[in-house]
Amino acid sequence: MKMPVDIRDIVKSGSKINEEREEQVRLAVLVEADAPEVLVDVLEASFRAHTANAHLHIEVVEPGKEFLIDGAADAVIAVLGSGRMGLIEQLADPRERSIPIAVIALGEEAGPIADLLHHAYRDTLADPDAERLVEDQLGEWLVERLPGKRLSLAHNYEFMRRAVALEAVRNTAWQNGAIGAVAFLPGADMPLMTANQIKMLMQIAAAYGESLGMERLRELMVIVGGGFALRSIARQAVAFVPGFGWAIKGGIGASGTLAMGFASIKYFEGGADVGRLSEQFDRLRESVARRLKPADQERAAGVE
């Protein structure tokens, strides 16, 4: 099957993803001495690194205790207790050095906590559920604040995988939606959208610990290429919708990418590998094809 993409570009992207996954990531964790035990336990379980490329510097904050935060830290995570253990003073140094700081606390609202510590609202995270606070909010914060270390974070810390994968899906869907909306020639957008989807699946696979050797790259290209014909039919059929074709075309590009991305995340989280993912997309493609009426297919195929 001839793929409508530059194979060399895909292989180069695979090599880059592997390199990014091996990047060193350094985090400093400051824990107030009276921080909730349940939150500390969740953090301890979440930050068990899978490789030696992850460095965690942990300090307990208490009155009168002074220490230096790792100068090479990519980010600081401050775990709030009562707020009376000296955390405000300890955050002054990393703020001065413009190191991203996330303050996390058990609670309903982040606003009062940000006011108490004179901290940025977007960098203050609160939730009464410790697991949700760490896995959802802190995971999303790290993805947003450390874009160059996303794959390394996912490679080392399992709780980061979903946040990193979802970010790859959202970014790719936005790009493909924009590409689909501005493409004027039928099929002109297909190579770009297909390449983007392959790269998205590569990022998701890397985030969930899949190897990205040549065999895996070939499988991923086949998975995406299998949806090429169906996307072509759908985009040709847009010609029958006067006035809003550009918007629908953009929607097809975005929604198709989202569906592929979410399905991939679901299967990787269930322990599936790339081979099983390919089988799932084959079944999905066959199901869609059966639902397309033969007459509609012929009509759509005749539109150039």
**Tokens matching residue 192:** 């770009």
pLDDT top residue among 213 and 253: 213
Task: Confirm if 13 and 220 have CB atoms less than 8 A apart.
Answer: no
Task: State the pairing for strand pair 25-32/124-126.
Answer: unpaired
Q: What would the mean pLDDT of 24-48 be, rounded to a whole number?
A: 96
Neighbours of 246 (CB within 10 A): 14
Sketch out the chain's domains with CATH numbers: 24-153 (3.40.50.300), 160-301 (no CATH)
pLDDT top residue among 171 and 259: 171
DSSP single-letter state for residue 68:
-
What is the enclosing helix (H) or strand (E) of 263?
helix 245-269
Residue 61's pLDDT band (cuts 50, 70, 90): very high
- Helix then strand then coil, in percent of the chain rounded to 5, is 60, 10, 30
Question: Integer distance in angstroms from the first to the last C-alpha of the chain?
Answer: 23
Task: Confirm if 125 and 75 have CB atoms less than 8 A apart.
Answer: no
Q: What's this model's pTM, rounded to 2 decimal places?
A: 0.77
What is the enclosing helix (H) or strand (E) of 78?
strand 75-79
Reported as a single tens digit per residue, the pLDDT across 107-161 is: 999 999 999 899 999 999 999 999 999 999 999 999 999 999 999 999 999 999 9
Per-residue confidence (pLDDT) for residue 216, from 0 to 100: 66
**Tokens matching residue 236:** 């040709």
Reported as a single tens digit per residue, the pLDDT across 205-227 is: 889 887 776 666 666 666 665 55
Distance (Å) of CA 78 to CA 96, 138, 154, 164, 218: 16, 11, 20, 21, 43
Q: Which of 215, 67, 75 is nearest to 144 (CA)?
A: 75
Q: Which of 11-15, 169-173, 240-244 has the lowest mean pLDDT?
A: 240-244
DSSP single-letter state for residue 129:
S
The answer on pLDDT for 170 being more than 80 is yes
